[in-house]
Amino acid sequence: MADSDITVDGLAATSGATQIALTWNPQSDPYTPGSLPYLQFDQMEIWVATSNSRGSATQLGETNANSFVHTGLTAGVTRYYWIRPRNRSGLYGDWHPLSASAGVNATTVASLSQISTALGGIVSGSLGAATTYLGNLSASQIITGTLLAARIGALTITTDKLAAGAVTTDKLDAGAVTADKITVTQLSSISANLGTITAGVMLSTTISGGTITGGTISGTSITGVTITGGTLRTASSGTRIQITDSLNAMQIFNGSTEIGRIGYGGTGAFVVNVSASVTGAVANIDNTSGGQLGIAFAAGAGGYAAFAGSGTYGPFTGSHDGLMRKTHDAEIGDIVVDTRIIARKSVSNTLSEIEPSSSPRMKTIIGVVAHRNPILAQTFAVDIVNADYADDFDHCVVNACGEGQVNVCGENGSIEAGDFITTSSVPGKGMKQDDDIVHSYTVARAREAADLAPGDTAMIACVYLCG
């Protein structure tokens, strides 16, 4: 039985000369977008075998798109495929096909036969592999409409076999020249939808889709060129940066391992993801005349989200997450208290249910409400609760340390700068504490005075002392 409810179907395999293209229907993900991120779809794993037995299959790759191309195959080989979805917690949905002996298969296209006969005008038959001995093809030797897609074998026509001006548009059938049939040192003034281009120099070129590998594009830079889709990478293997149209993200590789990704998070947010195997700072911002900040500084199983190598943070306010029932009437600036712990993600991260304070000197204070919004995947920071909470709770950001403001009342008289603030009998509102000692019920220290009569309320600047 699957550990995830995400399902997929519609796997199909299409044969090519040295590759097999796989497509499938978009996965069915019941947790998007209403759930929290850890339940949502992450990657589709692609498994391949040389026989119709999933037990002998190995993982070919993974993607979050609805297609994948198995490249590097020889002609006339058959492969069997299965796929399965994986969510962000590493749990898997059912295999597709479900049967371990019902893999979707395809066989790569066999090479066209070689022809070693010298031809005058080419009217029929096929042009075979690059070993065909045709001499030079001049314009007069190619009869209009005779170069059809089925008659040109991969790498058949090379530069030494074509006279200048021999191939004009009226002599090429639509679709006859595809990516695997072009190997040149220079492409000039071409606008085409090509798969993979391996070339020395490309001039005045608009390329839609496909992959550009190696070579030089307009000298040492891309000038006057629009590249849409496909894959861009700094090297074909090893340490490299890669951008693909399927991910809309920049991937950073160390050898064959992806160690980081920068791009669109799919929920309206810009995200930076880093492999858990990376230690040290993901991003190191160093101003030699000021401070040094490490982002996502990891060390073993723990680490810092942000680490000040030198200097300090500022302005500084530290906050917690909390869930408050929609029925509670709480304002921004109100004091809230813990009522129960809902979830525990790690030693550094727990989540509690909160409610407005309601009596003097409550020891369960957690802080002051800074934001309150419905629970949404793109705004909820703690991905450790079930989506069912969204019906009854709001997500709150609660200020607990640093500087900010707090709502107070005149229940215990006016407040002077420096007075400690504690909870009162007015829901969510603080009052002047009776003494100058920090207690378990101390919320904050006032930074300004407030002249308050009984029944008055105000928002004043403070330093939070909730921890």
Around Cβ 69, how many Cβ atoms within 10 Å? 15
Q: Is 294 left (phi over 0), alpha (psi -120 to 50) or beta?
A: beta
Task: Please state, in angstroms and rounded to a whole number, the distance separating the CA atoms of residues 343 and 287.
Answer: 39
pLDDT at 356: 98
Task: Please state, in angstroms and rounded to a whole number, the distance separating the CA atoms of residues 180 and 174.
Answer: 15
pLDDT at 415 over 80: yes
Q: Which tops the pLDDT comparison, 330 or 301?
A: 330
Q: Mind listing the pLDDT tens digit for each residue in 153-203? A: 666 666 666 666 666 666 666 666 665 665 555 555 555 555 555 555 555
Q: Are strands 292-299 and 216-217 parallel, antiparallel or unpaired?
A: unpaired
Per-residue pLDDT band for 314 (boundaries 50, 70, 90) equals confident
Task: Please state, in angstroms and rounded to a whole number, the distance separating the CA atoms of residues 450 and 144.
Answer: 93
User: Which domains can be identified in the chain, with CATH numbers?
Assistant: 12-107 (2.60.40.10), 240-274 (no CATH), 279-312 (no CATH), 317-465 (2.40.300)
Task: Please state, in angstroms and rounded to a whole number, the distance separating the CA atoms of residues 146 and 175.
Answer: 13
pLDDT at 257: 85
Q: Which pTM value belongs to this model? A: 0.47
Residue with tokens 């991003």: 283
Task: For CA atoms 285, 291, 296, 301, give the dihedral sign.
Answer: positive
Which alpha helices (H) appear in 245-383, and where do they start and end? none
Contact between 24 and 81 under an 8 Å Cβ cutoff? The reply is: no
Which amino acid makes up residue 345? K
pLDDT at 115 over 80: no
Task: Please state, in angstroms and rounded to a whole number, the distance separating the CA atoms of residues 25 and 113.
Answer: 36
Q: Which tops the pLDDT comparison, 95 or 219?
A: 95
pLDDT at 112 over 60: no
Around Cβ 275, how many Cβ atoms within 10 Å? 14
Mean pLDDT of the chain: 77
pLDDT at 282 over 60: no
pLDDT at 113: 36
